[in-house]
Structure 1
Amino acid sequence: MDSQVSPKRILIPIIGFGVAGGYRVLSELASRWVDAGHTVDFLVHHQMAAPYFPTKAGIKVFNIHGCLVSESVDAAPHHGKPGVIAIYLGMLRGLRKIAAGYDVILANHSLTTLPVAAAKAGRARKFYYVQAYEPEYYQLRGGWKSKVLGSLSALSYRLPLNQIANAPIYIGYKGVRARHWVPPGVDRDLFFRRADTPSFAQGLPWTIGVIGRHEPSKGVKYVLEAFEEYARIDPHVRLKIAFGNLPAGWRHDRAEVVVPSNDHELANYYRAVDVLVAPGTVQLGACHYPVLEAMACGTPVITTGYLPADPINSWIVPVHDAKAIVEAFKDVSTLSTHKLQVKLDEAAQAVGRFYWESVAEEFMQLFA
């Protein structure tokens, strides 16, 4: 722990433990802060599931009355997910009971900001870690619930909380008032650089990778279209889709689905493919875990423009453009080994700021 930062007591209210990358960020940050000598607790509704991503932090569990019914979600009854009102009221009441015992209250999702802003927390400083501009994602879903949640999320950026963004794109982005940004982190012990440089020798098989996602904003359909076109040109190319989530009925003789069950297997997946495509279509310039992790693993990346990729260390293509992805496949597979090595060295350098030890310390300096 930095000698200039005294031990802190940090409380992280959450709407639940999920499997998305944002929850990994919170679990990992909490563990790093605990290792550095700080006290960290999550505050979560008792009907929510246990953490998907392991954490060393404590867990405070509340009910709708704000009563702390246990110290672990594992010990709490699970009878379906609670409604938004139950989470809001329980979290607000729980914060009123315990928030003053902490130095830092860290809101992290727009739906946690109202209880945090409204709660009396003594001398505790209130922060909001903005991991995305959420209203845009609610707009993409459609429906009245999404409209309501989108309005609430837009309101969250106007609340009196100290905002920290996770990428420079959000500094001054629409209603976001953050002045500082701290990126999500990556575990250097898991996502380390592969021993070999990917090979595209003529006549030998090589593999394209993509993380399968249903949401249209993730742009996976354009990778599938590009692969189908390129596979007609190159009989040796293969496709590995992590986690599946493919359009109904889509298949290809040279495509396979793999399902990593943990971060160790996910890192091995990145090192097993010869190029990774991250084709998202919204909030370009944000941090994106597949880009960050693949770069850390020494795998070439084609992306529409997510950090830490840039034209020097990766291949940047337009959104909604399968033909541009095909051209990138051609460029990657015909690049000389020396030029590819230079590009991967640049990628490794870009990843340097994103290791967890640096990220956790950046946060602590802002808290202090």
Structure 2
Amino acid sequence: MRILVPILSFGRAGGYRVLSELANNWVSRNHDVDFLSPDSSDEPYFPTKAEIRWVNGEGVVSAQRQAKAKPSGRYHLQALSRGLKVVGHEYDVILANHSLTAWPVALAACGNAKKFYYVQAYEPEYYANRRTIKGYVLAFMTALSYHLPIKRIANSPIYFRYRNLRTSCFVPPGIDLSIFKPGKDAKDLERAESIVIGCIGRYEPEKGTIYVLRAFEKLHQRDRRFQLRVAYGNLPEGWKHDGCEIVVPKNDQELASYYRSLDILVAPGTVQHGAPHYPVLEGLACGIPVVTTGYMGATPDTAWIVGNRDVNSICDAISRLVADPLTRQQKSNQGRIVARAYSWDSVADQMLTVFNGELS
């Protein structure tokens, strides 16, 4: 099967990891997989075995990237649209993966290629939360993209009927279980000299970082053993605390080591509960107690589910799990079992099954 994955640029967000890992798995199964990217993009952050076809604003496609100063978003869309018209007909499958790639994929004439749209989040909600004119325009364009004539594949069943998004096809994201795995035995938190709480620091309000910080402040005030370890920083301007440490993992191996350095992981996102959220899946796979507002993989059997935007609920959950080693062990064991369903082999198989169903 020949598969083309058009992108506006390579980035470091979790969605790009998904695309790289899917491509790597398919290439290992002898499928021909290419990325099509504007030549203004950076090189891939996540390693890929797929070939990369670079396209410029005139629609000239090349295997060599001509580094450019960062042009406008219009340049990206124009390059991608023209590139699809040139090479789209060479493929069996074209996989759009973002609202702004769905438009050129839908509108380009690509011969007999089957077109798919992998929806990895309900994007309008995030754009609208910016509360800017550009954000509202992007939210509107993204919402419209869910009505384009492309087969939609969601990464969570919550998107089957989510606002104006409709689909009945579901393929989850995956995790590398050879990297995200348990480490040393969990320590006795009741007698420990320190209790390390962790979270992934994000600026976006909907990621809920501020609620972890406020919960930590309360817990540390009660018990000085509580420490906070934040991955990547991205803390609110002016916020600091002597009990807070920032670490910056450079790759998945270092990110997995970060998770294993924690006693508790908090994932307090405020929107689209039930959707995939990588820290939750990765934390479960590493056997770390997870406190979350409720994302894929997290249930009362595998994690401590807390109220949305509820600092006291986070504090109460952490206090309970510290005092209950038996429940910690039970949920940790069950979380690792649940995480096994998200291996890349399984996820890549599911996506190929969807492709083959449309091609047959």
Structure-2-length-normalised TM-score: 0.97
1:146-195 Cα shifts (integer Å, max 9, x gaps): 12111110111000001100011111112222211111110011101223
Q: Say yes or no: does 1:42 pair with 2:32.
A: no
CA contact 2:321–2:327 (8 Å) conserved in 1: no
Counterpart position of 2:68 = 78
Shift of 1:279: 0.5
The equivalent of 1:360 in structure 2 is 348
Give the superposition deviation at 1:311.
1.0
Output the CA distance in 1 between the equivalents of 2:202 and 2:29. Answer: 36
What residue number does 2:138 align with?
A: 149
Q: Within 5 A, what are the aligned runs for 1:167-178?
A: 167-178=156-167
Preserved contact between residue 177 and residue 340 of structure 2 (Cα < 8 Å): no
What CA deviation, in whole Å up to 9, does each residue of 1:246-269 have, x standing for no partner?
Answer: 112211121111111111000000
Residues 203 and 31 from structure 1, CA distance in 2 versus in 1: closer, same or farther, beyond 3 angstroms? closer
Give yes or no for contact 1:45–1:61 (8 Å, CA) kept in 2.
Answer: yes
Match of 2:250 among 261, 270, 291: 261
Give the Cα–Cα distance (whole angstroms) in 2 for the partners of residues 88 and 178 of structure 1: 25
Tell me if the contact between 1:199 and 1:206 (Cα under 8 Å) persists in the aligned partners. Answer: no
The equivalent of 2:220 in structure 1 is 231
* Aligned pair partner of 1:326 in 296, 315, 319: 315
Whether the 8 Å contact between 1:104 and 1:126 is mirrored in structure 2 is: yes
Task: Kindly state the Cα deviation for residue 85 of structure 1 after the two structures are TM-superposed.
Answer: 2.2
Does the CA-based 8 Å contact 1:198-1:299 persist in structure 2? no
1:95-146 deviation digits (Å, cap 9, x = unpaired) = 1111111000000000011110111111111000000111111100021111
Q: Does structure 1 residue 342 correspond to structure 2 residue 312?
A: no
Counterpart residue number, 1:14 = 7
**More deviation, 184-193/198-207:** 198-207
Distance in 2 between the 1:117 and 1:366 partners? 18
Q: Give the superposed CA RMSD.
A: 1.1
> 185-194 or 195-204, which moves further after superposition?
195-204
Distance in 2 between residues matched to 1:317 and 1:198, nearest whole Å: 23
The residue type paired with residue 69 of structure 2 is H
Task: Tell me how far apart the structure 1 counterparts of residues 36 and 28 of structure 2 sit (CA, whole Å).
Answer: 19
Aligned to 1:99: 88
Tell me the distance in 2 between the aligned counterparts of 1:127 and 1:37: 20
Query: What's the CA shift string for 1:269-314, capped at 9, x where partnerless?
Result: 0001001000100111110000000110010100001111011110
AA matched with 2:235: L
CA contact (8 A) 1:92 1:119 kept: yes
In the aligned structure 2, how far is the partner of 1:144 from the partner of 1:249?
A: 27
Moved more, 14-23 or 177-186: 177-186
Distance 1:304 1:339 in 2: 18
Matched, 1:191 2:206: no
1:291 aligns with 2:280: yes
**Rounded Cα–Cα distance in structure 2 between residues aligned with 1:102 and 1:192:** 37
Structure 1 spans left out of the alignment, 5+ residues? 1-7
Q: Does 1:222 align with 2:215?
A: no
Distance in 1 between residues matched to 2:188 and 2:33, nearest whole Å: 45
- Return structure 1 stretches of 4+ with deviation > 6 angstroms: none
Letter in 2 for 1:215: E
Return the alpha-carbon distance in structure 1 between the equivalents of residues 192 and 45 of structure 2. 42
The percent identity for this pair of structures is 49
Match of 1:116 in 2: 105
The worse-fitting range, judged by mean Cα deviation, of 339-348 and 38-47 is: 339-348
* TM-score, scaled relative to structure 1: 0.95
In structure 1, how many angstroms separate the alpha carbons of the residues matched to 2:130 and 2:337?
A: 37
> In the TM superposition, what whole-angstrom CA distance separates every residue of 1:36-64 from its partner, at most 9, and x where no partner exists?
11010010101111111111111011111
Distance in 2, matches of 1:235 and 1:72, equals 55
Question: Separation in 2 of the partners of 1:84 and 1:224?
Answer: 35
Task: Give the letter for the 1:71 counterpart.
Answer: A
Q: Partner residue of 1:3?
A: none
Letter aligned with residue 313 of structure 1: T
More deviation in 187-196 or 284-293? 187-196
Query: Does the CA-based 8 Å contact 1:104-1:127 persist in structure 2?
Result: yes
Alpha-carbon offset, residue 198 of structure 1: 4.1
The amino acid of 1:19's aligned partner reads R
| CA distance in 2 between partners of 1:198 and 1:135 (Å) | 42
Letter in 1 for 2:330: V
Indicate conservation of the 8 Å contact 1:49/1:78, yes or no.
no
Greater mean deviation of Cα atoms: 355-364 or 176-185: 176-185
State the aligned residue count: 356
Determine the C-alpha separation between the residues in 2 that align with 1:96 and 1:228.
Answer: 55
1:26 aligned to 9, 16, 19, which one?
19
Matches of 2:64 and 2:225 in 1, distance apart? 51
Aligned to 1:53: 46
| Pairing 1:300-319 to 2, within 5 Å after superposition | 300-319=289-308
